[in-house]
A and B are shown apart, each in its own frame.
Chain A
Amino acid sequence: MRVKLWGTRGSVPSPGPETIRYGGNTSCVQVTLSDGSMLALDAGTGIRSLGLALQQEATRLHILLTHLHLDHIQGLVFFAPAFRPQTEIVIWGPASPEASLRDRIARYISAPLSPVEVRELPCDVSFRHCPESEWEIGPARIRAASVTHRGPTLGYRVTDSGNSLTYIPDHEPGLGTEIDELDEDWISGFELARDTSLLIHDGQYADQEYPDHVGWGHSAISHSIAFANRVGAERTLLFHHDPLHSDDFLDALDREARDRWVALGHDPNTIEVAAERSEYDLPVGAPAATA
């Protein structure tokens, strides 16, 4: 399994000279499975670049949406494969009692917000609510579970050839509670991330910023680190960077995270702040390549 980060930013795209190293595109992660088939986790603006990088012959793609906040779906109408008639796209996402996944996404892919409607997309696109039980895509087993965020929000675990990726980009497991004091079964996202090979997890706020953002659905890095420690993640990427965080700020956050990780008895090279276009091979080793 190979993982490539096409968008690591949270909330809103943040391009500019101050974010050039960690990136300004919003959430999108490409997962290439052991048989060569591909998943995209979320469809923030990073998926535009992913679409441009895909070969024309790619015909069947699965997009797994954690939730429908704009920073996780904004790139859908700029995803080149969606405009090829030979492409089949299956979009998975959280169920809601309010409306179907298709109807909720169509609120964005419709006038006046979009120049095209869902029904006008040339590709064969279908929408599926994630089941509560595990299911298979190609050689991978997929599990989705609701996690603490604002509105119906999922985290995902993708398991292929004995390796697992857990993706929980928007997550506030420390809301109103102390992660270190909870039994495992009361920690949001725990089963998704237990002993995972690679954890991609919300790390939006520095600890000093969190008190002004309690209940916004995101983690302070102390929460992210406590969560990674409790679940026993082999490697952790802090993700969904606040749009106000510059590269220099994220460098400092990266150092702080590694120091805290070491204080918990871990290898400092197994936690880092996620950078756009970084790639990782599973089983966990050094990054395969970093653009």
Chain B
Amino acid sequence: MVKVLCAALALLFVLAHPAAAQLSFKPTAESVHEDQLLNALKEGDKITGRISIPDAMAASLIQPAGRDWRDFHRGKLPIIGGIAIIGMFALLTIFLMVRGRVRIRDGFSGRKILRFASFERFTHWLTASCFIVLALSGLNISFGRILILPLFGPEAFATMSAYAKLAHDYLAFPFMLGLVIMLVIWIKDNIPGKLDLQWLKQGGGILFKGQHPPARRFNAGQKGIFWIVIIGGALMSVSGWFLLFPYLPGNVTALQVWTVIHAVIAMLFIAVMLAHIYIGTIGMEGAFDAMGTGEVDLNWAREHHSLWVQEEQAKGHAPSGTAPRAMPAE
């Protein structure tokens, strides 16, 4: 009975004092709106508070620059990545259609020369396999919501993304190890020289059908890939290290800058690696053997690395003499 009476009095109070009721139910009606607040903040401004936990970054309550960062990741980055990756696919397809597969001019000789030792191939595949998982799991962050979520649904996508994130975090370490080993074992053969200019002027003998320019163990194209992998990999490693340990950059703004560097370099890196994979597989006859078995055909080696073959022959590491022309298969 008392409760009913209290409720009736409260209702009477509300009806008799509409202004009081408005204040009671909409306490923020007269306050500053969030949009007004955020628009009033200038670039670099932050709203910070006092915190009682030992995490200084948690004191940043509102950082308007974060909106630009979010817009970049949701808007510009997928466009940059899409253009780079789809553009590279398109370019390679057109190149294959116009130029065709780069064949061995004199055909397979049937005689082999050791191109890469086991440890070199191990290092290559260690880095490459990690890179493929890192690339796919990274692309999932930018394109997964658009491409994969509608196909598999939210639960499967969430589970897959969680495992992909774990793989991305931890396979980064063997990837970085592979980069360091590659730098140590291949840098001596990848120092740019005058011979590389000649190779570039002739399009590597690949862009235009004709005589292949002379090259030592690595030609200018391969040297370019090497330095892109080393420099791009170093940038990915440093920026990725800051993402793995987000307290290292010191503040949220620096962390956001590193994520942008990581994402943009990643998209370009993936596009360049597509070209590397293309020329190492379907783009050039006989090229995959170098990283497959480690041994390449002598005619292939003579065409693409003539000076290196001479050096290996002088050391007694390669069959000497003129290779016989290949006979067509029966």
Q: A and B: partners?
A: no
Residues of B within 8 A of A (CB): none
